[in-house]
Structure formats: structure tokens, C-alpha cells
Amino acid sequence: MFYDSLMIVINFFVKIALELTVLFIGVSFLVGLIHEYVSDDAVKRALGGRHIVAGSVLGAAFGALTPFCSCSTIPMLLGMLNAGVPFAACMSFLFSSPLLNPVILSLFVVLLGWRVALLYLAVTFLVAVSAGLVLDALGFKSQVKSVAFVRDDLPAQDAGSRIRRSADFALTLFCQLMPYLLLGAGIGAFIYGFVPSDLVVQIAGQDNTLAIPAAAIIGIPLYIRTETILPIGLALIEKGMSVGAVLALVIGGAGASIPELSLLSAIFERKLLAAFVLTIFTIAVAAGFMGNLL
């Protein structure tokens, strides 16, 4: 019995680890190539010269093209604020960047299917845009502290060097995240092979309404790489955990974390920091309940 379960764990681990590796490197290379041809300054000028609604939409869209974790988003946010990009666009970028990039969306497609990926895209993008506009309308711009930030522009590159830099970017990013990918695949494989299905269904199944907000609350204080939690979530779904609870856990964990909140406290006053956490929680819960309806 143990041997059979162990073989299931090994097969699950190898399959998920290889799938994630190929997908992650490929998508990261494409994103790196985009950034080689579209400079940050060009994005800042485009966001700063638009109507507030259009700027927020573009801010969320730009966030979707940045394969950053929540903590890595902060330097870019500071650069946008210091460049004079409107507050609403900056906040829409902040919400969408760690949650809505091509790497995460691709992983959702592979691990959870197109319907869940489209749901995740629609809910997160809409709330990111809306949150930026609402926080701006409520006057939260005054809650931003003055923080100096300097960033050097990279010189222009020819096509060959741009491709090499994009490949280096993809490989470097993969090497940084590889331990998280393997850890997530390993934990997911263990859950898939050894955790009883009845236990998972009882705690976080479709019939437990409180499972979704509880998963969001658990996810928010954790520093969860989405690349780590998705294979774990796949195993939990296979065991009977609702898709909604997995979505809530992923969004809460990827969108906010203790390290990120610590960084944001250096540039945000307490009211804006609390509004940020509440928005991430709202996104997580909304996506979770809608996920269970599909």
C-alpha cells in the first residue's frame, strides 16, 4: 500500500515539475523580450498622459506584463510614483502586477483549466482597475509618503543581444524560483499520494461556505509564491478541495505578504496599507465564490 502511494507521488512530482519548468521558461522569455523593446519610461509617459480611467486600465494591463512577485513590484511602483504617474494608475499596477502576469495565467491554464484562468483574469483585472479609481476618489493619494528612488536606464541593444538578455532573464528568473517550483511540486505530490480525500472535503470542500474566506485569511500573511502553491492546489483539488478555496488561497498569498507589507509601510501610511490588504482579501473571496459557481 505504501509502495503504491509512493509511486503515485513520484509520478505526480515528475509530471508537474517538468510541465512547470518548460512553461515557466518559455513564458518568461517572451515577457523578457517584450521588456527589451518597451522601455519603462515609455510606459510611464503613456500612463501619465491618459484620462484617469484609461490610465488605470493601462496600469493594470502593464502590471499584467510584469512577472514580478509582490515584493519585486515595489521598486517599479516607486519609479512610477516618482515619475509622476497618476495615483490611480499606480495602484491598479500594484494590485495587478503580482497577481495577473502571463506566468501565473499560464500556470492556471495548465493546472486548473481555461475557465478558471479566465475567471481569475476577469475578476482580478476588474478589481485592480476599480480599486485604483476608488482609492483615488477617496483621497488616499495623500497617504503616500515621499520616498526618493533612482533607476538607471539601460542602453539600447541590437536584436541578438536583446534575445540573449531575454534568455538570460528567463533562466535567471527560473533559477531563482526553481526551489519554489520543486517544493510546491513535492508538497503537492505528497498531498496527492498520502492525504485522505475525506479529510480535505470535510475541511475545505464545496459545502463549507467558510472555507473560502478562511483560505483568503490564511493566504494573506504568508509569503506564498504562486508557482509554489498552484501544484499544491492541484493536489488539493484532486483530493476534494473546492476550486474557490484554492483560488482564495493563491490570490491572498500572492497578492499580499508580510515582506511586501513591510516594504509598503515605508511608502504608505497605515490607512492606505489597510485599504490595500482589504482589497486583496476582497479579490480573493470574490474569485473564490465565483470559482465554485463554475
pLDDT digits (tens, 9 = 90+) for 3-52: 777 888 888 788 777 876 776 787 678 767 766 776 666 766 667 666 78
Residue type (1 letter), 264: L
Most confident option among 4-18, 124-138, 231-245: 124-138
Domain range holding 272? 2-145+157-293
Which tens digits make up the pLDDT trace of 148-160? 444 444 555 678 8
Grid coordinates standing for 168? 538570460
In the chain, how many domains are there?
Answer: 1
Q: Which residues contact 266 (CB under 8 A, 6 or more apart)?
A: 145, 147
Distance separating alpha carbons of residues 17 and 22, to the nearest angstrom: 9
27 located within any domain: yes
171 located within any domain: yes
131 located within any domain: yes
pLDDT over 80 (residue 147): no
Cβ atoms 117, 107 nearer than 8 A: no
Full-model pTM: 0.67
177 located within any domain: yes
151 located within any domain: no
274 — pLDDT class (breaks 50, 70, 90): very high
150 located within any domain: no
* DSSP conformation class of 222: S
Q: Which of 245, 40, 235, 21 is nearest to 154 (CA)?
A: 40
Q: Which of 108, 96, 97 is nearest to 72 (CA)?
A: 97
pLDDT over 70 (residue 266): yes
Distance separating alpha carbons of residues 159 and 165, to the nearest angstrom: 10
Percent of the chain with pLDDT over 90: 9
152 located within any domain: no
80 — pLDDT class (breaks 50, 70, 90): confident
